[in-house]
Structure 1
Amino acid sequence: MELRERINAALKQAMKDKAAARLSTLRLINAAIKDRDIAARGEGKEDGVGNAEVLAILGKMVKQRQESARTYEEAGRLDLAERESAEVVVIEEFLPRQLSEDEIAAALDAAITATGASSIRDMGKVMGELKGKYTGQMDFGAVGPLVKDRLSA
């Protein structure tokens, strides 16, 4: 089942279950996807965005909510932090399983080998390869420094 269909099915189920918080989060997800669809149509892509871009949107939404929850906790607003964390749980249902550190290391090695990267100048090629294969499965902000270390060694 395509990602959009899974999200819409979950939205309908949340309506039936009268799960207000879950429904709200699912509507936010749909709104973000539709917003990117509109932008994509403006760029000439009539079909809107694909699964890979939907995964990127969901990853960005998770990261935003984690940062907000951290900020709320620092400000002593635990009620708001809990709400953000609950939204993260709902959004993560639609993301693929995150890779472990060992799996990330193996993916880095494979990407470096596949691109023939030998220096720090090839970092963009390696990151492109990883994003193409592992969108939604790893945090590229954390992987970037690992790639840099591997290529500069």
Structure 2
Amino acid sequence: MSLQERIERDFIAAYKNKDTVLVAVLRMLKTATKNRQVDLQRLLSDDEVLDLVLKQIKQRQESIDMYSKAGRDELAAKEAAELELLRAYQPQPLSADELTALIETVVSEQGATSIKDMGRVIQAIMNTHKGRVDGKAVSELVRNRLSS
């Protein structure tokens, strides 16, 4: 089952169960996928749908930060609840040990020896493990690995 089909199935179930928060989140996600399909004039692949999910997750994280700084805890809590619902459509993230091992592998494969090679290493990791790693964490770990 494709990610888009899963979203549609979950939307229908949430609608029948009157889960208003999940319905709202999935409705926004469905709208984003539909708009992207119209722009591209074709059906979306799972990777493209995953990109839209990750974009929605990033938007929620930024909103939580902004609301928290502004002292709007009720809105931050609402965004946090939506964020948790969206994370169900994100692939299982790598553990810290798996990420460290992956960085070591990619550094040796790329022949990276200095900070100048950092971009190549990060790009290789992000391309192969889209949605499973946090870009900031990867950047920090790669920087530490290459600077030592």
Provide the rounded CA distance (Å) in 2 between the counterparts of 1:40 and 1:148: 37
Aligned residues: 148
Alignment of 1:22-61 (within 5 A): 22-41=22-41, 46-48=42-44, 50-61=45-56
Q: CA deviation at 1:103?
A: 1.3
Residue from 67, 75, 81 that aligns with 1:72: 67
In terms of mean alpha carbon deviation, does 115-124 or 14-23 score higher?
A: 115-124
Q: TM-score, normalised by structure 2?
A: 0.87
**Equivalent runs, 1:62-141 vs 2, <5 Å:** 62-141=57-136
Which TM-score applies when normalising by structure 1? Answer: 0.84
Q: Which residue of 2 aligns with 1:148?
A: 143
Distance of 1:109 and 1:149 partners within structure 2: 11
Percent identical pairs in the alignment equals 37
1:73-126 deviation per Cα after TM superposition (whole angstroms, max 9, x unaligned): 232322211110111011001111222211111111122122222232322321
Q: Which amino acid aligns with 2:137?
A: A
Per-residue CA distance 1:54-91 (angstroms, 9 max, x = gap): 22322222122122123222323222111101110110
RMSD of aligned alpha carbons: 1.9
For structure 2, the residue ranges without an aligned partner over 5 or more in a row are none
Q: Secondary structure at the match of 1:67?
A: helix
Q: What is the distance in 1 between the residues matched to 2:56 and 2:99? A: 22
CA distance in 1, matches of 2:19, 2:117: 48
- Letter paired with 1:106: A
Q: Which runs of 5+ in 1 are unaligned?
A: none
- Amino acid aligned to 2:126: K
